[in-house]
Every structure is written in C-alpha cells, then in structure tokens.
Structure 1
Amino acid sequence: MTDSLRILITNDDGVDAPGMEVMRRIAAELSDDVWVVAPSGNQSGAGHRFTFGRELSLEKREDRVYAVTGGSPADCVVAGMTHVLGERPADLVLSGVNHGQNLGDIINCSGTAAGAREGALQGAIGIALSQAIDYERRGEVVWDNALNWGSRVVRELLRELDGPGAYYNVNFPFCAPDAVSGIRVVPHQRFSRSPLRYYPSDNDGYFFIAIPETPRPLDKAQDFHLLHHDDAITVTPLLLQQTNEALAARMDGRLRLAEPDA
C-alpha cells in the first residue's frame, strides 16, 4: 500500500452504484487516504459537462464520502479537488468502475472518461476504469476482472508515468479472470461515423439518443476488437492537448483574409 498517495474517486453511475464499491476496494489496495466525491444519481453519457448557473449541493454520506446532487462527474472532481480535499488535492483520480465498457469514440461522451480527464486537468493522475458486460445477456455485469486486476493495472500505470498531459482509459474484459490474455496498450477505435443515433420510443412523440449497433469495420489492433475478441485488458493513453499539431504547423502562415468586396 502506498500510504502517501491521496486518491479521489468519482464515477458516472452514481455514488450508490455497485461499481463504486468495487472502485473503493481497488483504491484501498493502493492507499489508506481515499476520498469519494460522486454524483448522487446516474450521470452516464454526461461527458465533460459542467453545471454552470445552477446551484449544486454537497451531501456528506460518511467519513470521506460525498455525493453531489445533480452534478456531473466533472463537477464532482472540481468540488473534490478544490474544496473537499482542502489544501492538499488528490495525487490520483480514479473514475469508475463503470458498469459497461467505454471504448472507441464513445469515450467522447463518457462521464467516466471525463472524470479522469478533469482529474488530469486539475493536476492529478487521471485513470478511468470500466468493466465490460455482455449486452446479449441483458447487461449482466460480473466485477471479477476489475476486482482481480484493478489495483495491479493502476500500479503498472503509476510506474510508467512520464510527466503531465495524459490520462488513461482502462477496460476489463467479461471473461473469467484466469482467461485474461494480458494488458494491451492500444489506440481507441475511431469509427467512420458516430455510433449515436435517433432511436424511436414505444411512446408516441418521444425518442431516445442511443447506440443501436457498433459501426463496422473494427481495427483488430484497437480497443474494441482486443477487449471483445482477445479477452485483453485494454489501456489507452489519451492527451489533454487536443491540437492537431501537424495540421497546425502545415496551415500556419497559409491562411489569408480575402479583400472585402467593394
């Protein structure tokens, strides 16, 4: 256990979600200084939304455990890092463990990924953890791989840190723990189009925004394929700096303002 490591936990499934207890058990293997600031209810798909212009409330559930009513994971990390933890913010922000995989372009709307991203933006190490499920089995979740491998994967990432500017997205496969093929550090799958779609409701006049199917084709060297077909734990390092630097360098000095029409 690393006693000096201060850990802040958040998630997007809510402070009372089963994955929160899984994450607390993972964190307890890493440190004795663990804090929780998480949404009071489900915030899945909230992305990196902040709640501007509307009051939030902070409820103390137990020692070092707080719920933010109506708040997003990003709200929770800000409240935790800049208020709850006082003058000593967390060294490590763990987000999850999410009920279901966060893969490919879906990380752009993931509240779980946003919790880790905001942790990194606040100066901590940010790691998002998700436990894959088999949607053909009605979304049943088995936490064995997150529980068995979670602290070990986090320790490996802590050993490999190379300065600020990155955060990490980790997914555990839905197989038996002894069937896990290893850890693969891979890019996230880029889809040819967004997987999000209009989806009609059975209630007249209403609809959902949903992911009815995974776009194809999938790259065999990226996270979607390796998690589902190779039973690998996938780790994707992600950058906070989103500028396409090669394109910026190519375009610099080439753009011109046209003369106004007479």
Structure 2
Amino acid sequence: MRILITNDDGVDAPGIAIMVDIAAALSDDVWIVAPDGNQSGAGHRFTLGRELSIEERGPRRFTVIGGSPADCVVAGMTHVLADRPADLVLSGVNAGQNLGDIVHCSGTAAGAREGALQGAIGIAMSQAIDYERSHAVDWSNSIRFGTDVVRAILAARGQDDVFYNVNFPVCSPNDVAGIAAVPHQRFSRSAFRYYPSDKDGEFFVAIPETPMPLDSNADFEVLRRRNTITVTPFALQQTEKTALQRLAGLSLSPAGQS
C-alpha cells in the first residue's frame, strides 16, 4: 500500500512525525507532501493563479512553499507520485480537535477529502486538547491507537464515496473507552464570531464559545464526555436528496407574468 501524508500544521510539526510512525506500521512505501508552514483553518482552499514550488526535504519528504493542504495532496498525487498515486492519504495528526461544523474549515479534513477526491482512501486524524486547562498537546492516544484506528477503518470500509474524520480524546490511554462511529455535531449556528482585539478598531474571527445545545451522540460530546475515539464518515456527494426532490417542480413564470 502506497501512503501519502499531509497536514495543515506544517511539514515540521510534531503531529506529522507521529503520522509517519502510524503509516510506517502499515507500509514501507510512505511519502510526505505537506505545507512549509501553518495552514490551520485553510479549509479546501487551492492556490489558484499564483505559482507554487516544491522543495525536497529528504527521502520521500517534500514541502510545498506557501501551499495549502489541498495543494499538497494535488501535487503529491498528480506530480510526486504521478507514476502510481497513493492508495491511502493520511492527514494530520492535527494539534487540536476537528469536530462538528468546524470540520468545514479544517485544513486537516481537507487533506483527507482531496485525497478521496483523487481516488485514494482519505483519513484525517486530530488529537484533542483541553483548552480550558492548557494548550499543550498530549499525543499519547494518537501514538498508542493511531495505527489500530487506520486498520479498523480499512477493514470496515466498503466502496462508500466518503472520507473519514478521526479524533483522539484527552485522557490517559488506559482510560480510552474504545472507538465509535458517530455523526458530526451540527451546531445551531456557526461557531465562528467577531472577537474584538485589544488593538483599537481591529478584531479576530474566533470561536469564543461552543454553540449549544449539543447532541450527546455526536462527535463533540462522545469525544469529550465518553473518552472515546470518534470516527465520522463525510460524504463527497453533498447533494441533499430530500431538498432535491422538493425542488423537482421548479419552473419559471412566462415573461411578463408574476
């Protein structure tokens, strides 16, 4: 199995080294194509209309200067590995959880999504942080369970048109309750808000609080309250079928009529 690794924290981030160890337990054909710097929140952005460059950092290790995770997967699958694209794209391990609607803007998730769009199996992996206590990352659960999680997904998957989003809880490995396939948390509103800066007239786009209420069976609460590794499959075909049927009778009024 040929594996391509990317992330959104940058090619030198500690999480990518953990992902290399996860991949090395699965295959001896492992490649890295990752951004040269932090691309958190980049989502599925492509760098269009501006030239990019690839720098080789070592054997099977490349970085895209100024590129997003999606740029890196495209460069990896269609250029670096053009002779035989990867079978599996692993994105992460991200420093911090990617849950609920926040996945829509996640560069980590986008790396796995673009991998799946390119024809590979795409798996995004994130290590949760308890931000109320500290911003430090304890990678223990990613290290202990990462390879087993990938193996479990590979064993259970069918021909579904999806990519997978995985989150590891904040707890001792001995306290991990197991692994569960769960839906993502659909928030009651966007989690992102205007957040004023200390500098007059300036502001941040931030997540000052989690929108409530939360579904006890969705990824956010299962990860946080049950100490469970969460796996969520996201569909690549995003058309909402019920709405499509409801709109099937759409028509335009003849000119001049209201």
TM-score (norm 1): 0.96
- Residue number in structure 1 paired with 2:133: 137
* Distance in 1 between residues matched to 2:244 and 2:228, nearest whole Å: 35
Check whether the contact 1:123–1:164 (CA below 8 A) recurs between aligned residues.
no
Q: Find out whether 1:224 has 2:220 as its counterpart.
A: yes
Tell me how far 1:227 sits from its aligned partner: 0.4
- Tell me which stretches of 4 or more aligned residues in structure 1 moved more than 4 Å: none
**Secondary structure, aligned partner of 1:136:** coil
**Secondary structure, aligned partner of 1:209:** strand
- Residue number in structure 2 paired with 1:250: 246
Q: Deviations over 1:73-113 (max 9, x none)?
A: 00000000000012100000000000000000000000000
- Alignment match of 2:111 (pick from 111, 115, 123): 115
Tell me how far 1:119 sits from its aligned partner: 0.2
Letter in 2 for 1:260: A
* Distance in 2 between residues matched to 1:261 and 1:192, nearest whole Å: 40
**1:1-262 alignment to 2 at 5 Å?**
5-252=1-248, 254-261=249-256
* Distance in 1 between residues matched to 2:201 and 2:26, nearest whole Å: 50
Q: Deviations over 1:5-41 (max 9, x none)?
A: 1000000000011101111111111111000000000
Q: Deviations over 1:139-195 (max 9, x none)?
A: 110000000000000000001121141110000001000100011100000001000
Q: Deviations over 1:206-227 (max 9, x none)?
A: 2111111111111000000010
Letter in 2 for 1:259: P
Letter in 2 for 1:24: V
Tell me how far 1:246 sits from its aligned partner: 2.1
Tell me how far 1:204 sits from its aligned partner: 1.9
* Distance in 1 between residues matched to 2:94 and 2:173, nearest whole Å: 18
Check whether the contact 1:112–1:129 (CA below 8 A) recurs between aligned residues.
yes
Number of aligned residue pairs: 257
Tell me how far 1:260 sits from its aligned partner: 2.0
* Distance in 1 between residues matched to 2:224 and 2:82, nearest whole Å: 41
TM-score (norm 2): 0.98
Check whether the contact 1:191–1:215 (CA below 8 A) recurs between aligned residues.
yes
Letter in 2 for 1:247: A
Structure 1 portions without partners, runs of 5+: none
**Secondary structure, aligned partner of 1:218:** coil
Check whether the contact 1:45–1:109 (CA below 8 A) recurs between aligned residues.
yes
* Distance in 1 between residues matched to 2:199 and 2:84, nearest whole Å: 50
Letter in 2 for 1:9: I
Over the residues paired in the alignment, what is the CA RMSD in angstroms?
A: 0.9
* Distance in 1 between residues matched to 2:80 and 2:251, nearest whole Å: 49
Letter in 2 for 1:152: D
* Distance in 2 between residues matched to 1:223 and 1:186, nearest whole Å: 6
**Secondary structure, aligned partner of 1:137:** coil
**Secondary structure, aligned partner of 2:5:** strand
Structure 2 portions without partners, runs of 5+: none
